[in-house]
Chain A
Amino acid sequence: MTPARASLLAVAATVTAAACTRPAEERALRDDDIGRASADGITIDIADGLAHVRSLSGDAAELWAQAPIIDLTIDVEPAAAGPFTLTLGNALADHALTGAVAFTDLGGSRPTVRVWQLDLPAGRTTLRVAPPDDLDTTTPWRFAVMGDIQDALPTVHEVFARINAEPGLRFVISTGDIVHRGREDEYALFEQQLTTLDLPFYSTIGNHELWDDVGRWYRRFGRATVHFDFRGAAFSLVDSASATLDPAVDTLLDAWLARHADDVHVFATHYPPLDPVGIRMGSFASRREAQALLARLAAARVDVTFYGHLHTYVGFENAGIPAHVSGGGGAEPMRLDGIDRHFLAVAVDPSAAAITAVTVVRVDE
């Protein structure tokens, strides 16, 4: 072997060990397909993919909400016009349907399920599902933040029970790691446990959702990156499950940041961009990317950032923005920190355009 050949082989060996620079690209593309479905002469299109069409037939559709306000259009071919049952999972108990269509509110089997019987005409019907009392109010309100359930799925109903007992919460946002190994039975158990939670659970994904077929997430819950506005605040739940944001997600985020520079803006993602301790296991794969992301969040005056991945609670600042790592959903807890299972209760004052409090609520006290 000549020296040149040996050196080339060494370099080639390194390059073949390489990873790709866009590991989350497929998920970013998959997000774009969420919220659209056609079957039996019915086509549903949900604005911004804020609900997932779980099933659709000529006389019924089942949606899974990823936001509190859902705008959708239903296109109906003449032969498909008639009675149609619309079921919304992960709903608010006070969700109401509005639109130029005759319908009957059938209520729901539990607080997070809503069912309506529609009489769909041929042509396009535009509908909105929203909690009417929240649309034009600027009074203070609260939501919860949690993350990292993983192998604590069998006991997460205890966390949900404590969330149910906390007064005034409208919904839960999650930073991901719902499942431990990404298995189908884990997702099924999570859905079963969700029936004990009286509030919607809006979530991005974490690295543990990638442990097996991430399609299991998409088939049940929809987008991995979600943005919605509610009661004077903007929420950006962003997929960093690969310890990076895909450039397509960056583009979306830039638009959301520009649109809400003067509003309360909540940013949530699984990995802390920069590890609050600096040398632990949880941060973006590239510090350069992390620094650039934080610079953009700071320039857009984001009000608060929430992260998961570390199974503890850490409050700190990044780029001058209040930051909270909260991985207290029950996954193998960090020892010696005295934190254990917890969630955060976050108070928003829309009239002051501010996050007024972030409180750690311990489940086991």
Chain B
Amino acid sequence: MLAAMPSRRSCALALAASTILAASTPAHAEEPPRPPRARRALAAGAAIFPGVLVRGTGHWLVGERRTAKRLLVLEGLGLGLAALGGIPLGVTGGAEETLPGLALLFPAAALLFPTIAADAWGAAGGACIAGTPAPPPALDLAAGYTFVGDPHVPFANLATADVTAWLGPAHARVSGWLGDGTWQARAVAGWRVLGPRPGERPDDTSALDVTVAAAEERRRDQGLRVATAEVGARARLDLARVGPSLRGTFATVGLGLGAERIRYSATGAADTSGLVSGHVGWGFALGDGATRALETELYYEHRRDTLAGGLTPPIAYNGFIGYVGAVTTAWSGRTGVSLRVDVGSAYVVSLAAHVRLPELP
């Protein structure tokens, strides 16, 4: 059965929240105060609690009140969106008619969770070690290995390949994995609506991309063929826009809609199922972005159709939980290496070597 999808209006509203943030006034010019180390440690702790309730507590304690206020406003926006999308879902027990509200929950989460990390990072003085992100490469070739720790699948070792190419605002990515009787091929085409393109070194790394994707997967041992089609959008907000103490950090939010066609070779039967995916992340850049660059992102992916599946916490819970992960990519000149760890119902660890054009300036 094909899913009822969130309406275009809801999606547009959700993405608009991200775009508004990206369009806010940059705050690069304001130099942060330099409080003593002990005060910073206290403030970083306060950013977690009571910061989890009142965003900006950490920055307030180190005297960066403008940034503190902005973080609090972002929390308020997040709570508003969460209430708008979540209350109808909760009150109706998840009635189909209220599912479009899901589209508001992702930007809400993107405002609520990364702001905790950002407050702690900024209050701790993260700006002192923050670096400059590497400009996007026009061509990124990667090959690697993925380990899948999942007792429910008959494979564990996969070879991976990944190619991303840019032409102006257009970009395309072809990737895949293969091993132990299974393979997947995936193609993504995208358009950078706003933000830096290859060869550009802007001060502000905020960006908005829209994408379409298709994937085909075969699992010979399980007699399965799975085809997926998706459309999506992903926004990145350079958190230096919120305050100078957050230079070198960023927040990400993504939303996708799609459908999955599952074919069972034993009987010839097929199921079609809807997909709604979301992404919320926070990350930081280290290095000068010229000779060396390293970027790390911690994220939550609201989907269960990837190798990682969804989290199965050892406590009772209700609802749909996706998986968490972290990815680090380091560049030096023309070469790079990336490490990705995803944790859901399975552990997935991917290591890849990269070659980029052009090399870091």
Instruction: Spell out A's residues near B (CB within 8 Å).
Output: 1, 3, 6-7, 10-11, 13-15, 17-23, 182, 207-208, 210-212, 242-245, 247, 250, 274-289, 291-292, 294-296, 298-299, 310-312, 316-321, 332-337
Does chain A have a CB within 8 A of B335? no
Q: Is the interface of B mostly helix, strand, loop or mixed?
A: loop
Sample 24 A-B pairs with CB under 8 A, ordered by A number: A3-B292, A10-B298, A11-B339, A15-B343, A23-B313, A23-B314, A243-B312, A243-B345, A276-B1, A277-B274, A278-B1, A278-B273, A281-B94, A281-B320, A285-B304, A285-B345, A286-B150, A288-B150, A288-B152, A288-B153, A295-B266, A296-B222, A319-B264, A320-B267
Does chain A have a CB within 8 A of B97? yes
In the assembled complex, which residues on chain A have CB atoms less than 8 Å from the CB atom of B316?
A: 182, 207-208, 210-212
Asked if residues A7 and B294 are in contact (CB atoms below 8 Å), the reply is: yes
Asked if residues A280 and B310 are in contact (CB atoms below 8 Å), the reply is: no
Q: How many Å from the CB of B206 to the closest CB on chain A?
A: 21
In the assembled complex, which residues on chain B have CB atoms less than 8 Å from the CB atom of A296?
A: 222
In the assembled complex, which residues on chain B have CB atoms less than 8 Å from the CB atom of A335?
A: 91-93, 95
In the assembled complex, which residues on chain B have CB atoms less than 8 Å from the CB atom of A276?
A: 1
Q: How many Å from the CB of A241 to the closest CB on chain B?
A: 9
Partner of B310, one of A3, A285, A321, A334: A285
Asked if residues A295 and B344 are in contact (CB atoms below 8 Å), the reply is: no
Does chain A have a CB within 8 A of B347? yes
A211 to B296, CA, bound (A): 36
In the assembled complex, which residues on chain A have CB atoms less than 8 Å from the CB atom of B315?
A: 210
Q: How many Å from the CB of A239 to the closest CB on chain B?
A: 13
Known: A10-B326, A277-B96, A294-B271. A18 touches B347 (CB 8 A): yes
Asked if residues B314 and A17 are in contact (CB atoms below 8 Å), the reply is: no
Known: A10-B298, A21-B151, A335-B92. A279 touches B304 (CB 8 A): no
In the assembled complex, which residues on chain A have CB atoms less than 8 Å from the CB atom of B152?
A: 244-245, 247, 250, 286, 288-289, 292
Does chain A have a CB within 8 A of B325? yes
Instruction: Spell out B's residues near A (CB within 8 Å).
Output: 1-5, 91-97, 99, 102, 129, 131, 149-153, 219, 222-224, 226, 259-260, 262, 264-269, 271, 273-276, 284, 286-287, 292, 294, 296, 298, 304-305, 307, 309-321, 324-326, 328, 330, 339, 341, 343-347
A291 to B225, CA, bound (A): 10
In the assembled complex, which residues on chain A have CB atoms less than 8 Å from the CB atom of B265?
A: 295
Asked if residues B326 and A14 are in contact (CB atoms below 8 Å), the reply is: yes
- Name the residue on B nearest A6 (C-beta): B286
Asked if residues A285 and B95 are in contact (CB atoms below 8 Å), the reply is: no
Asked if residues A289 and B309 are in contact (CB atoms below 8 Å), the reply is: yes
In the assembled complex, which residues on chain A have CB atoms less than 8 Å from the CB atom of B102?
A: 279
Known: A21-B346, A278-B275, A279-B276. A286 touches B310 (CB 8 A): yes
In the assembled complex, which residues on chain A have CB atoms less than 8 Å from the CB atom of B312?
A: 19-21, 23, 242-244, 285
Partner of B264, one of A22, A207, A208, A298: A298
Known: A285-B311, A285-B321. A22 touches B151 (CB 8 A): yes
Known: A7-B286, A243-B345, A295-B222. 11 other contacts (CB 8 A): A6-B286, A14-B298, A17-B343, A19-B312, A208-B316, A210-B316, A277-B3, A280-B96, A286-B152, A291-B262, A292-B153
A158 to B92, CA, bound (A): 23
A178 to B316, CA, bound (A): 14
A247 to B222, CA, bound (A): 15
- Name the residue on A nearest B96 (C-beta): A277
Asked if residues A13 and B326 are in contact (CB atoms below 8 Å), the reply is: yes
Asked if residues A281 and B264 are in contact (CB atoms below 8 Å), the reply is: no
A17 to B317, CA, bound (A): 16
Partner of B266, one of A281, A282, A299, A316: A299
Q: How many Å from the CB of B200 to the closest CB on chain A?
A: 23
Partner of A292, one of B222, B307, B326: B222
Which 10 pairs show the lowest CB-CB distances between chains A and B?
Answer: A286-B309, A320-B269, A278-B274, A278-B3, A299-B266, A3-B286, A14-B326, A335-B92, A18-B343, A334-B93
A208 to B296, CA, bound (A): 37
A275 to B309, CA, bound (A): 14
- Name the residue on A nearest B307 (C-beta): A288
A285 to B307, CA, bound (A): 11
A7 to B292, CA, bound (A): 14
Q: How many Å from the CB of B257 to the closest CB on chain A?
A: 9
Asked if residues A7 and B296 are in contact (CB atoms below 8 Å), the reply is: yes
Asked if residues B131 and A3 are in contact (CB atoms below 8 Å), the reply is: yes
Q: How many Å from the CB of B169 to the closest CB on chain A?
A: 30
Select the residue from A285, A321, A337 with max chain B CB neighbours within 10 A. Answer: A285
